[in-house]
Amino acid sequence: MTAALDLLLAPDFDAYVAAARPFVADPDALDALVPELLRETALRTYREEYPKHVPHALFALLGGLDSRDVLGGPDRAKPVLQALSYSSRERHFDPWPVEATPARGGPEELSAGLEEGDFDTAYGAVRALVAQGRIGEVRDGILAAGSRDEFNVCHRFLYAAKVLQRIEREPGVDAATLLFPVVHYHVTAPRENGYGPLLDSPPERSLEEVLATAVRNLSGCEEYDWVPVAHAASLPETVLWWASVSDHPATAMAATLADLFLVDALAEGCATPPGRGTVGSGTPADVIAAIGARQEDRARSIARGLEVDPAGRHALGDALLTACAHIDGPLAFSHDVKVTAATVRLSRTVESEHFAHILSDVAAFLSRLPSGSALSAALF
């Protein structure tokens, strides 16, 4: 097998650690494997029937790569290796024969196939449009279709958006193959649209306020009740990205979807979020240590002291991304890394009063998750 498949298909934890260890000190070598890792994960991430939970192998890898991009530097391999450790634990099927689907059709066939649940029509149009260099039409068609469906915490929209972001950011990726699991999930998973005409109304909050409110409430959620709220925090970043690259009218509908979904997510089990707490002193390493020790108040306090100036915020963001690689539990990693990467990215690129304390809120959230990852102990 190739080095990429050794990572993805490792039969047990020890085998994965052995395959991953060389890349800890050589992140450039891991970067070189990313196109193959994405391709092989995409080809194997499908189900004959999708339960309530979407397969997370590709989601986790995309989150790890988002963290890698923002983090940079010698530690950038850590979130990717943590993501791959989760991917290797999820069941992988034989690669789907994507070449068996004829490449034919255009935007109309793509929309019709997605709407009617016809995989061959929808994916055939994707393959044809990608081959013609018309990825923008693929992007708008899939995201417009996904923005009307909130089944399984808006995964139709989120799954597509994160894959399309990665296609844009990752040179050399096989776009048509990477879109296979997106189309397969879209046409196969159950449908649910409880918002209906509400999606045609303007949102009550800005996307920045949706993100800040979701992150603020994450540390007030009970165990695993935070999962829908974490998805609510992931939606704004993807909608803002779509709006930045397209003037498609459905971007407004996606903004409303994010706003409506936040309301529902907060109603599913969140307690009142805690107060902001005190402003403490310490280093980014102290924040990582507090997160690892599950000392929520200390993590928030030190983070508040660091985020008062741009240099401190930048260093704190790097620390939070690094901390994700040390958090245990596949479910936690699959979601927490997406929230952290999206929040850190936006806090560095978008000026918003809503982001004044957003990184200390992320620190408090991460400190509530299981720590002591066996992988981080073995590798990092």
Chain mean pLDDT for the chain: 88
pLDDT at position 209 is 95
Local structure of 327: helix, strand or coil: strand
pLDDT band at 328 (very low <50, low <70, confident <90, very high): low
pLDDT attached to residue 36: 96
> What pLDDT is attached to residue 266?
87
What are 168-178's pLDDT values in tens digits? 999 889 999 99
CA angle 153–157–158, rounded 5-degree value: 70
The predicted pLDDT at position 52 comes to 64
Residue 259 CA: distances (Å) to CA of 233, 242, 340: 10, 16, 19
What pLDDT is attached to residue 359?
95
pLDDT confidence of residue 251: 95
At residue 325 the predicted structure's pLDDT band, cuts being 50, 70 and 90, is confident
Of the pLDDT bands very low, low, confident and very high (cuts 50, 70, 90), residue 48 is: confident
Q: Is the pLDDT of residue 313 over 80?
A: yes
pLDDT digits (tens, 9 = 90+) for 146-193: 988 777 668 889 889 999 999 999 988 999 999 999 999 999 988 877
Q: What's the rounded Cα separation, in Å, for the pair 321 and 78?
A: 9
Of 255, 222, 219, 208, nearest in space to 353 by CA: 208
Give the residue carrying structure tokens 């990726």: 173
pLDDT tens for 63-121 read 889 889 988 888 889 889 988 887 777 777 899 999 999 999 999 999 999 999 999 99
DSSP strands (E only) in the chain: none
List pLDDT tens digits, range 196-235: 888 889 999 999 999 999 999 988 887 667 888 888 898 9
Question: For a pLDDT cut of 70, what percent of the chain falls above it?
Answer: 94
CA–CA distance, 23 with 39 (Å, rounded to integer): 19
